[in-house]
Amino acid sequence: MWVFEETLADGSLLTKTINERHENTKYLPGYSIPENVIADPCLRSTVADADLLVFVLPHQFLRTISRQITGVLKPGARAISLIKGLDTQGNDIRLITDVIRETCLPAPASPGAEVVPMSVSALSGANVAHEVAAGQFCETTIGYHHTTSLSEALVWKALFNTPVFRVSCVPDLAGVELCGALKNVVALAAGFSDGMNQGGNTKAAVMRIGLLEIRDFAARFYRGIRHETFFESCGMADLITSCVGGRNWKVAREHAATGQDLASLEQTMLNGQKLQGILTAEEVYNFLSARGLLHSYPLFTAVHRICIGEIKASDMLKHI
């Protein structure tokens, strides 16, 4: 398991702590990591002989990582993305699985042979980390491209599926990814609502509007989106759990309740980690603005404007 090396408060290295204590004391304290999971700070050596690659990192660092591993990966390797976000180039948006497929290229099977891109799937669902680590029952969704054989997804299902981690597979890669990324924007809106002491009716309305905007965004800009995907764990279920207890919701609630700026709250509440919802809201805003479509997505638009201080959280309901 590749781990970005950090020096902890006590002066120890994060990878050494994980390997000796079998616990990620900074980001997932209190939960044991199996002893056969070895933290390695060297990215290239970690992935060099892997047949199956699981991508779990903040989406803004993906292209930096891809440059380091291209040409190192085994021919025939497969990948799955657990990344919740979107990739932007200028005012264009790309799916994370597309970026992985296009930039994380395996070595050729033989000298001079054509390089064959990896098959890439996506996993997303109502999977709050500490609850999964505690062995509490949950569901998740694996999305695979509709032109790809189900057998590709079933490889991943065989690895992830357990009695307490129930996996379903759907031929809607874009739908699964977009639900995973855009629900973070809606979770911010739900947090703003709760921070203003709005009731359950208001929060339900915010979530409903948010789900409609997610579905409309997906159907407008991507082919092959399945209506049923929004009722999988990656859709409505993940939206619900993100809006009642996720990190984006917690920080947004605190911002609306106290007026503290979001950057300071990230530092104090998240141990320095960044909220994916804030970055995704900006990316979506720029994408929609370039196409003259901000008016079609009032909730997405309002969330970004709150995040940059253009309007107050208390004004959100006027804009959606």
Active site residues: 183
21 among annotated binding-site residues: no
274 among annotated binding-site residues: yes
184 among annotated binding-site residues: no
208 among annotated binding-site residues: no
84 among annotated binding-site residues: yes
Q: What backbone torsions phi and psi does residue 48 show, to the nearest 5 degrees?
A: -55, -40
Residue 121 contacts residue 173 (beta carbons within 8 Å): yes
4 among annotated binding-site residues: yes
Report the C-alpha gap between 81 and 55 in whole angstroms.
5
Query: In the numeric block, which tokens belong to residue 125?
Result: 């669902």
Report the C-alpha gap between 11 and 18 in whole angstroms.
14
- Find the Cα–Cα–Cα–Cα dihedral 226, 232, 238, 243, rounded to 10°: 80
Report the C-alpha gap between 258 and 34 in whole angstroms.
40
Binding site, residues? 4, 61, 84, 129, 247-248, 274, 276
> Would you list which residues are annotated within the binding site for substrate?
84, 247-248
Annotated binding site for NAD(+): 4, 61, 129, 247, 274, 276
